[in-house]
Amino acid sequence: MDDIDRNILRELQNDGRLTNQELAARVGLSASPCMRRVRQLELDGVIQGYRAVVAPEAVGRGFEVLVSIEVRRDRETVEAFEAALQDIPDVIEAHRLFGSPGCLLRIAVADLAAYERLWIERLTTLAGVTEVNSQIIMKRIKEPQGLPVDG
Amino acid sequence: MDDIDRNILRELQNDGRLTNQELAARVGLSASPCMRRVRQLELDGVIQGYRAVVAPEAVGRGFEVLVSIEVRRDRETVEAFEAALQDIPDVIEAHRLFGSPGCLLRIAVADLAAYERLWIERLTTLAGVTEVNSQIIMKRIKEPQGLPVDG
DNA sequence: TCTGAAAATCATCCCCA
DNA sequence: TGGGGATGATTTTCAGA
């Protein structure tokens, strides 16, 4: 991975639909070696995929909540809990933490009423959960916008 | 926004580099109207852009930390603080919350040493900050993977 | 709004340096 | 590894239904 690869990653994080020709021009290469590098980055798993970024409000997901969850800390409970999260589409991000809380979710729903429903129907009913603490997001200060690529 | 538009959004969140022909086939349209819809979704800001998804470990960003921050709650402090966050590339996500903490950051760096440096040099020095609490992420349970599109 | 066809652009492969 | 050129896809636009 050299400077050119890093430039490619920067450009494609910025615009994932750049044509290969345009990308090649920006990183100072001609089309063929540029495409070879991109393919290699994909094969190596450095580029994991490409995604359209959709406005949450436009698809009824403008209301976001951060939820701290405490789960009983034995292996089976934790694994079942984390598997269950995969099946709740409203959970758009989940992290297991050291310390407390043991887990933090980011949830995107339409509005407060939708969140109340989700909370009572699907969060409080998860097995092994001992505590659920919801914090409504007032404002997105900084959006996920691709990773910085140094060098 | 009808079912076809929603399908387009689903498909493009899943693979942002789908060719227009393939996309058209999947949503049951021929190429031209499909492209018109995509362009319209882009113009309307429903599709905000396209991004390559890069593996954090591959670019030295495999160590993630959630940071709760408390800031003095007057308008000037808050605005200056949030502006300052925009200039720290390691901060990949930031939310202003109701309640406490007032702000939560997600930070991606290379390792613990890099985080220590960031913490002492750039987080504790932010004006108006009264409390900084760092939680290391043990595991990403669920990655950002595009918003669910209902209907 | 969709379809279909035509023109321009682009991706992709192969081979040479 | 990078470059150039041939070939087949794909995008993009436009007229018509």
Which nucleotides of chain D are near protein (any atom < 7 Å from a CB)? Answer: 1-5, 9-15
How many other C-beta atoms can be found within 10 angstroms of the C-beta atom of residue A95? 22
Section B72-93 average pLDDT: 97
Going by pLDDT thresholds of 50, 70 and 90, the confidence category of residue B1 is confident
Q: What is the structure's pLDDT at B36?
A: 94
Nucleotide nearest to B34 (CA to C1'): C2
Q: What pLDDT does residue A151 have?
A: 86
> For position A124, what pLDDT does the model report?
94
Tokens, residue A14: 């910025």
How confident is the model at residue A148, as a pLDDT?
Answer: 97
Report the alpha-carbon distance of residue B96 to residue B84 in Å, rounded.
14
Model confidence band, residue B148 (pLDDT cutoffs 50, 70, 90): very high
pLDDT score, position B144: 79
Q: Among residues B52, B148, B50, B65, which one has the least CA distance to residue A114?
A: B148
Of the candidates B57, B49, B21, B93, the one whose C-alpha atom is nearest the C-alpha of residue A51 is B49
Is pLDDT at B151 greater than 90 in this prediction?
no
pLDDT of res. B143: 86
Between CA A128 and CA A103 the distance in angstroms is: 13
Give me the pLDDT at residue B105, please: 98
Global pTM value: 0.94
C7 C1' – A150 CA distance, angstroms? 42
Instruction: Measure the CA–CA gap between A95 and A89, rounded to whole angstroms.
Output: 15
Q: CA–C1' distance B30–C2 (Å)?
A: 8
Give chain B's domains with CATH numbers.
Answer: 1-42 (1.10.10.10), 54-134 (3.30.70.920)
What is the signed CA dihedral for A134, A135, A140, A146, rounded to 10 degrees? Answer: -50
Question: Are A98 and B138 inside 8 Å of each other by CB?
Answer: yes
Neighbouring C-beta atoms of residue A107, cutoff 10 Å: 24
Distances (CA, A) of B72 to B24, B39, B67, B81: 52, 44, 16, 10
Q: What are the backbone angles phi and psi of residue A106, rounded to the nearest 5°?
A: -115, 130
Per the prediction, chain B carries an average pLDDT of: 96
Nucleotides of C under 7 A from a protein CB: 1-5, 9-15
What's the average model confidence in pLDDT over B48-76?
97
Integer Cα distance of A50 and B17 in angstroms: 6
Structure token digits, residue B123: 């987080």
CA distances from B15 to A90, A102, B29, B38, B44 (A): 20, 32, 18, 14, 20
Whole-number pLDDT of residue A41 = 97
Asked whether the predicted pLDDT for residue B145 surpasses 90, the reply is no
What was the pLDDT predicted at B93? 97
Report pLDDT for A144.
79
pLDDT tens profile A85-129: 999 999 999 999 999 999 999 999 999 999 999 999 999 999 999
- Residues of chain A short of pLDDT 70, as ranges, are none
